[in-house]
Structure 1
C-alpha cells in the first residue's frame, strides 16, 4: 500500500480574483504598487537603452532619468504596501 503525501493545501477560489490575490497575500493597494513599479521599470529600461544610443550631453541626462525611475520602482516594490497603507480610507 502506498501513502499519498499532501503537497498543497486546498483553497476555495470560488470568488475569483479576490480569493486568488488573497491567497498570495496581495491586497488592492499592494497590487497597484506592484503594477506601478512594473511600469516604472519598463520606462527606466527604455530610458537606459536610449541613453546608450544618444550622442553628446543627452546621454548623461537620460541615464540619470533612467536611474531615477529604477530607484523609484525599487522603493515602491519594497515600501509600497507601507506607503499606501497610510492613505485614509473613503
Structure 2
C-alpha cells in the first residue's frame, strides 16, 4: 500500500470497497467507459482498456490513473489534449 501520510497534497485517493453500499452512476465500474465514448467517441472504451493493460504490464500488475492515461495518450494521441477533462468526469 502506498504511503498516504502526505495525503493533503493529493488530489484524489481511491479505494476498493467490499461489502459496503456504494452508489454509482453506472451498473458496473467499467460502464463509465461507454459514457465517455458516447461523449468523446473515437473507440474510447477499447483504447482505455488497452492502455490499462499496458500500464499494468509495465508496473508489475499495479498502475495509477495517471499511468493509464499516460499510456492512453501514447496509443491514441487524439485523446492527449482531453485527458484531464476525461479524468474529471
TM bracket, shorter-chain basis: under 0.3
Normalization by structure 2: what TM-score? 0.27
Say which one has the larger Rg: 1
- TM-score when normalising by structure 1: 0.27
